[in-house]
Structure 1
Amino acid sequence: MPRFLRRAVVAPAAFAIGLIAAAPAASSGPDVSNPHVIAHFDLAAGQTPENMVAERNGSVVVTFSAARQIAKVTRERRIRVLATLPAESRPRTPLVHDAVALGLARAEDGTLYVNYATGTAKTGIWRIPASGGAPEQIAALPPDGVPNGLALDERRGVLYAADSVLGTVWRVPLAGGTPTAWAAGGALDGLPQTADGVGANGIKVHKDAVWVTNSDRGTLLRIPVAEDGSAGAAEERASGLPGVDDFVFPGHSDIVLAALITSNEVALVRPDGTHGTVLGVQDGLSNPTSLAVSGQDLFVASDAYFTQRDPNLLKARLRAHFARP
């Protein structure tokens, strides 16, 4: 499972989520092919990519957790900082003990939303306008938690933040305001016997449900969204995924690709809960934390939290049946 490091430049464990539903159409060739690293980041500068979203033009936007930055990696492999979250002079973030930028979500109009954990009143969800400008806090979350993964449901006009310490999924209006503890406890909690206790981590909205990973338990969960917006009972859809972090649905089915940070792997999780490795350290992974998909392109960010070597961005090709606009 992910472990939070104590070092000069401290970064948090990452988050993953994913799941399952329909089997892919039969076709030949590997599910993921032609992996290659397209960008190398500066570990000493805090460029540890925690989460990301893909844009239609082939660029990706990432959070550099330790640097508190949101940055764009262009198709030409240039890195441009879009925003830096405000410094916290006395951070008290649980587990991390530093101010860190975590989960990231992007609206259709280009507005970015990011989780920021500081252990102070700055902990919460921040908004960055599509046209640029200073980050603005739109919701405060408990300073004794670590809001990790972030997911956006524009149809319902809400954001969901997975808290790895408090074992809670927070629901926040897209316009900002008071958060609601939408789902909590049980399968979302970390394991009390572990040194760090990293529970709910990655999160996605998919087919009228919120999917969440639990890093300590190595599980992928599906939480149905009721007609009134409330949370149904959490269903375990896959297990045996130690250190599972962020994830992505590569197509319209329930098949998931998930980052396993400690084993340096990306796993493909099938609708029946079985899973296998599709990328590994031999492909350039160095503690993968998050994934994003654009068409048939798969992007994987590695933060090098444990290896302390070569945080990077990898690009690979998905088999055609996964492709989506």
Structure 2
Amino acid sequence: MADARFVSHLNIADGQRPENITLEPDGGAVVTFAYSRQIARIAPDGRVRVLATLPAPSAGAVTPALTSPFLGGVVRAQDGTLYFLYATGTGDLTGLWRLRPGGEPERIAALPADALPNGLALDQRTGLLYAADSVLGTVWRVPAGGGTPVKWATAPELAPAGFLGANGIKIHNGAAWVTNLDKGTVLRIPITGRGAAGPVQTRATGLVNIDDFDFTGPGNTLLAAINADNKVVLVRPNGHTTVLTAADGLQGPTSVAVRGGTAYIASAAYFTNEDPNLLAVRITSGR
């Protein structure tokens, strides 16, 4: 991969720790700031604009596994609508939320109070959203119009082993691909002709602390953020290689988004507490 460049250095004092990222057509990016409950846009020149702040839960609420309210995965539909996941440990706020251009955030699907919805993927072909639940070891499915979530996939491979299980998720080549942070795996769950979940297939192992990821092209090679280990790895069907480290600017990478030949990596600095940022890097191999 080519040398990384900083798109933006974020303000840790303002709680600007990016958990997840989705890209815009003009080269901007939308991120979730996990513990400040904010959705924000990072312009191509690095300027940050908060788009919305989610309501705080009632006093005494405890979010499963993380304690504090947690804003997780975010995706963008072609019309500019943003969908994102919020977990608070309360039944009135936890679930799938939507923000239409110029509108206000609204919850469109409730998830259980004991859930921790984390990664989010949109199947543009069907208009269905898939949410990876890190505590309940479940992939939930919800129509983009909202409604009652369906337990699309539940399996031991998705469950946590001490902290967080199913984490990042993408829809790719007829399947939902999911990472498991505790178990260090990349999983492939086929989407059958009727839309059901097929048997879980383990496609990569040995990646403990794996967070979000994205594919580098039409094949099954992907780039994955290894959060606590402060690196990004290139995962091929025959193994994986570290391609970015702290020397490139990583500060606890949480998420990856690829467009064309460029990968964008968000770092939340959860463990370093120094410089949350957004990096851009040209992909020169592994496609």
SS at match of 2:157: helix
Ranges of 4+ aligned residues in structure 1 off by more than 2 Å? none
Structure ranking higher in strand proportion: 2
1:186-225 matched pairs, under 5 angstroms: 186-191=156-161, 194=162, 197-225=163-191
**Distance in 2 of aligned mates of 1:38 and 1:173:** 33
The alpha carbon displacement at 1:152 in A equals 0.5
**Distance in 1 of aligned mates of 2:14 and 2:95:** 24
- Letter paired with 1:174: A
Q: Structure 1 residues 269 and 231, CA, compared in 2 at 3 Å: closer, same or farther? A: same
The alpha carbon displacement at 1:138 in A equals 0.4
Q: Which residue is equivalent to 2:248?
A: 283
Contact residue 58 and residue 294 of structure 1 kept, 8 A? no
TM-score by length of 2: 0.97
Q: Which residue is equivalent to 1:87?
A: 56
1:1-325 matched pairs, under 5 angstroms: 32-90=1-59, 91-121=61-91, 122-129=93-100, 131-191=101-161, 194=162, 197-272=163-238, 274-319=239-284, 322=287
SS at match of 2:223: strand
- Letter paired with 2:183: R
**Distance in 2 of aligned mates of 1:85 and 1:158:** 23
- Letter paired with 1:144: D
- Letter paired with 1:143: A
Contact residue 296 and residue 320 of structure 1 kept, 8 A? no
Q: Structure 1 residues 320 and 185, CA, compared in 2 at 3 Å: closer, same or farther? A: closer
Structure 1: gaps of 5 or more residues: 1-31
SS at match of 1:44: helix
Q: Structure 1 residues 281 and 199, CA, compared in 2 at 3 Å: closer, same or farther? A: same
**Distance in 2 of aligned mates of 1:244 and 1:115:** 19
SS at match of 2:20: strand
**Distance in 2 of aligned mates of 1:291 and 1:186:** 25
Contact residue 216 and residue 286 of structure 2 kept, 8 A? no
TM-score by length of 1: 0.86
The alpha carbon displacement at 1:185 in A equals 2.6
**Distance in 2 of aligned mates of 1:278 and 1:207:** 24
- Letter paired with 1:157: G
SS at match of 2:4: strand
Contact residue 103 and residue 148 of structure 1 kept, 8 A? yes
Contact residue 55 and residue 294 of structure 1 kept, 8 A? no
Structure 2: gaps of 5 or more residues: none
Contact residue 82 and residue 132 of structure 1 kept, 8 A? no
Q: Structure 1 residues 35 and 145, CA, compared in 2 at 3 Å: closer, same or farther? A: same
Give the root-mean-square deviation of aligned CA atoms.
Answer: 1.1
The alpha carbon displacement at 1:171 in A equals 0.6
Q: Percent identity?
A: 53
Highest RCO, 1 vs 2 (Cα 8 Å, sep ≥ 6): 1
